[in-house]
Amino acid sequence: MAAVTTALTASALLTTPALAAPTDDKIEPQLLQALDAKDSTDFWVLFGEQADLAPATKITDWTARGQAVLDALRGTADRAQAAVRADLDAGKVDYDSYFIANALHVKGGSQALAESLAKRAEVAEILAPRAYSLPELTPGEVQATVDAVEWGVAAINADDAWADFGARGEGIVVGNIDSGVQFDHPALVGKYRGNNGGAFDHQYNWFDPSEVCPTAAPCDNNGHGTHTMGTMVGGDGANQIGVAPGARWIAAKGCESNGCSEAALLASGQWMLAPTDLAGQNPRPDLRPHIVNNSWGASNGSAVDPWYRATVQAWRAAGIFPSFSNGNSGPSCNTSGSPGDNVESYASGAFDINGAIASFSSRGPGENGDIKPNLAAPGVNVRSALPGGAYGANSGTSMAAPHTSATVALMWSAAPTLVGDIARTTELLDDTAVDVDALTCGGTVDDNHVFGEGKLDAHAAVDRSPRGPVGTLAGTVTDAATGTPVSGASVTVTGPSNRTLATGTDGAYTSTLPVGEYAVAATAFGYGQATGTAAVTEAQTVTVDLALTPAPRDTVSGVVRNAQGGVVANATVQILGTPLAAVTTNGEGAYSIADVPHGTYQIRATAGGCNDPRQVELVVDGAEALDFELPARGDSFGHHCVLEPSSYVEGDTPLALTGDDQATAVDLPFGFFYYGATYRQAHVATNGHVNFLARSTSFGNTGIPGTAAPNAAVYPFWDDLLIDAQSQVLTKTAGTAPNRSFTVEWRNATIYQQTTTRLDISLTLSENGEIAMSYRNLDAANPRETGNSATVGIENATGTVALQYSLNTPTLSNDTTVRFKPPASGTVAGEVTDANDRGAIEGAAVKILSGGATVATATTGADGRYSMRLLAGDYTVEVSKQHYVSATETVAVDGDESANFALRTPGAELTGGPLTFLGEAGQLRSSTVSLASTSDLTLDYTLSNGASWLWAVPGTAAVKPGGTQAITVRVDPVGLTPGVHESTLTVTTNAGRTPTITIPVKLVVPAYRKGLDVGGGGLTDRNADVWVGDQAWQPGGFGYLSGGPVVKSGKAIAGTEDDTLFQTQRESPGGYRFDGLPAGTYQVELGFAELRAGFVPGRRVFDVSVNGTKVLPRYDIAASVGVLTADTHEFWVTVPEGGSISVELAALRGKSVPVINTLRVTHRPDRTS
């Protein structure tokens, strides 16, 4: 399955299997990486419980066996998934459930949702989706036919099996999961199970899970699926391309285009187990195919990816043979692709017309050393059907697997007892394969990893099948009234072996059957049933001719209207399952179908575009009137579209955007709400699309949705456009809020390499979420201009939801605007404030919840405001921020709603800082600050210091509402050099406004400090400051200059807490001197107290000078403060290195002598003057 050959290949090596063993946290790392990159993405939820399918394998009845498997799988999935589904439904999360693998595909899930689901015991794994690709078919050389059949048919001796055993696949249904099938290809149309004699009923016969095809009919936009189906059953007489041309086919489009999503592949596998109607309802396991061909897989080297194992196990339990291609990654060993390398899968390698293994054919071994491929089949230059009624040769193991699938059809047709017996069928295929000596990858001649069991031999396989004695049943079905043959009649044969046959153009049918008694019944459109019996004997032909009686006929007519009540012209009305031609409504929406035989029918009206089809049951027993109202077409998100008279809007501002495959970014004038997200920038591409995620210049349009870029995109005309010198891309902004619009116009654009083609395209985005696409100057006669190579529609950000108006269909018109309307929505807006101060809170997280799941988030701005647009519905708004108490409010969004929040938080207020300490080594200093709780919540705090000399207690505490906590701040200058030391004490709180409070702390360590206890012997004061005893000055020292008398008092001194310091004084000291000082600024502190109680003001008056400067002239203690009261003063002086400070106390004539009580000189490195 390499890119140069034809098969489905994984786009990257799958080192982690999609169903790998669960990790401890259950969430795959790739998914977590994706969720880190964006808010939401798709993911798979896998459940641990698996159904017990063993009992079903013992059931012999085909219908009962299939039903048993379906019931077991559904019951297990319903039980295991119930709780998770209920939560997802409540949260309005989009998802799909797959019972076949007990898995959910969640669309646009958040990381919070994934983590929540991972906590559930019933959930085994949560995985990221994978992307698969389908390479283009590589044309090969057409080889010569052998006896009028293709070389591959002859190489496996299938034509000999037809001749010798009469086995061509009659009664067997094959299915393929591929890129689709051209159902009306000449080589396939007669074999399609949905062909009812020229009319087609696609219900239970065709499945398009991604809705890629433009109608309900099968399509193939790649060619791969048509080719593989042709190899299985194809043939139109001249082109004998199929191995089992008598078998009938059904198909599922597991690959959207050149890519295959896991969701489509899994849905297709589930549909094969129990086909459904076109609405995906009413599964019928009795209509499952006998064989499913899978020419796709992952090129994952030696790794084994078991993600499809549960599907294959379910098929096998139901009796469906699982045929796979082995991969195109040869010639190296260990290159088998998954799921073909799984032990449950039967995988085919490829050989060429000379019997040599193809170089590209992947080699084994497979899982657990299993022989892979199981065998080899023709796979080089295989000619088969291609879309458009064509034929062509291609190469790949994709071409080999259909040979094997169809050989099983021959075996089961010839030996009905083998039907559903997978083990016996596998054994016969293995035993009859022609051994090849090819041991380059190990093994033996019988079983090796190049050819497997050998080369496929259909003749030998059928010959060895338990056919038993057989005979032939033949007959002709005719019109009882005219005797003419009835072509396409269904002949049901019931007996020892059941068959469903179809008559040819001559009305004839034939089948080889085991001997025994049979009931034969024939039906055809427009006729009643005819029955007969047959006794089939060995080697004999028994003839049962049946004549059908025509039924009476009448007319069915009516009017088709749209959801708005308007008539729908050109709608198609068809009676399903009949050969009656579909009719088209006229300009008034009317239709009429004549000659409808009496009976019960399903009648379907389709119009495409913005209308969904409608199907009703009608009993025709006379002329019938049947009107249709077509539902508006929509997507799972809630968008729908309507058609309106053209409202083309021109742009007025040219963009700098020209050339081929170019794009540019534009800022939108408003936030555009699109698929649940709001975008403010768009990327405009020359190729007719605008996306909101990233620049994309993709020119190759595909069906939508699709996971490949662009996504979150609007496609008014996605095609390979060219903006040349005659073209422009323009924009226009119109209107006022909240009704603004933004238009992008591609004017006079041309199509690449078709420059004579010119067209105008207008795309308008409205502030209310509507999207209008209008067209001008389209040439109605040129289908390229009207969209036959373009995609028109809208798509979500993950490529999982879309509303596709048209795909490669010429439906666009100058007269019509296609308007996409979003589901009802509204805004939730509000302000988040602090409940204490009523101020705005910036940075609060606003989360919108629905059913417990987060659907939108926002963050408040500096003004505390937020605003989000949401789909209409009930939501919970949750607001949170660190240190605040979260708050919620329920809102019902049906317009513009407000939700304001005042968040509670502790309040914190600190008093007492900043702090400055003055201390010498050995002197511990402390001070107190207060932390108050100013709200009704408890305030918690923790302290941290920024220096080793700084600490505070208590380091942590809880302050009750309204309470205050005193915090003692301490410093220790030990070991510090003289100077200024600064640090910060940090208070960390749980207060929203003040989560961190800093207290600047300064510690001044002086180079010199002397405090004198004047008249005393020295003491340590209440602040732990040391005051030395009074002493006489000596040169180079400090002290008083003359020794006047000392006065003492035992009385209390007011104005101080250190009474003792002021209870002694010296009279007439003459002054004090301090010598040998370090350079710097000094603080000189003087303390006075009048100790003589009788000294009234005016009695003791003197001058005080510092270094010759009079600082207290005519100082009178009693006049200043009274007696027995401390009076302190401080002065600042600058001293040079080695300088002195002198304090002079000068008596005044007629006054009492000067006195002084305390004196302190301190170097202050924190001051410059």
**Residues designated catalytic:** 178, 224, 398
477 three-class SS = strand
Cα separation, 833 vs 293, whole angstroms:
64
The DSSP secondary structure of 47-75, one letter per residue, reads: ES-----GGGGG--SHHHHHHHHHHHHHH
For residue 894, give the DSSP letter: S
Token pair for 1050: 């035992």
Q: Do 355 and 379 form a contact (C-beta atoms < 8 A)?
A: no
| Cα–Cα dist 747/1130, whole Å | 88
Report the alpha-carbon distance of residue 1042 to residue 1033 in Å, rounded.
Answer: 8
Q: Which of 728, 661, 168, 766 is nearest to 409 (CA)?
A: 168
Residue indicated by tokens 């994978």: 130
Please report how many Cα atoms fall inside a 13 Å half-sphere around the Cα of residue 884, on the Cβ side: 26
Residues 6+ apart with CB under 8 A from 431: 453, 464
Taking the C-alpha atoms of residue 510 and residue 491, their distance in angstroms, rounded to an integer, is 10
| Measured distance CA(295)–CA(265) in Å, rounded | 12
CA 42/CA 500 separation, integer angstroms? 43
The structure tokens 């005044």 sit at 1148
Q: DSSP per residue over 260-302, as a string?
A: EEHHHHHHHHHHHHS---TTS-S--GGG--SEEEE-B-B--TT
Question: Across the strands, what pairs with 199?
Answer: 196
Task: Tokens 């992307």: give the residue.
Answer: 131
Task: Quote the tokens at residue 278.
Answer: 């076109």
Name the region of 409 (left: φ>0; alpha: ψ -120 to 50; beta: rest).
alpha
Torsion of CA 810, 814, 815, 817, to 10 degrees: 80
3-state class (DSSP) for residue 669: strand
> In this structure, which amino acid lies at residue 360?
F
CA distance 175 to 274: 12
- List, as one string, the DSSP characters of 682-732: EEEETTS-EESSS-----S---SS-SSSP-SEEEEEES-EEE-TT-EEEEE
Q: Return the closest-CA partner of residue 455 out of 384, 332, 373.
A: 373
Instruction: Give CA separation, 211 vs 271, 474, 603, in Å.
Output: 14, 41, 21
Distance CA 918, CA 1002 (A): 8
Report the side by side order of strands in the sheet with 845-850: 853-859, 845-850, 873-880, 887-893
E strands in 908-1030: 908-911, 915-918, 925-933, 939-945, 950-953, 956-959, 964-971, 979-989, 996-1005, 1009-1013, 1018-1020, 1026-1029
Q: Closest by alpha carbon to 320, among 281, 338, 293?
A: 293
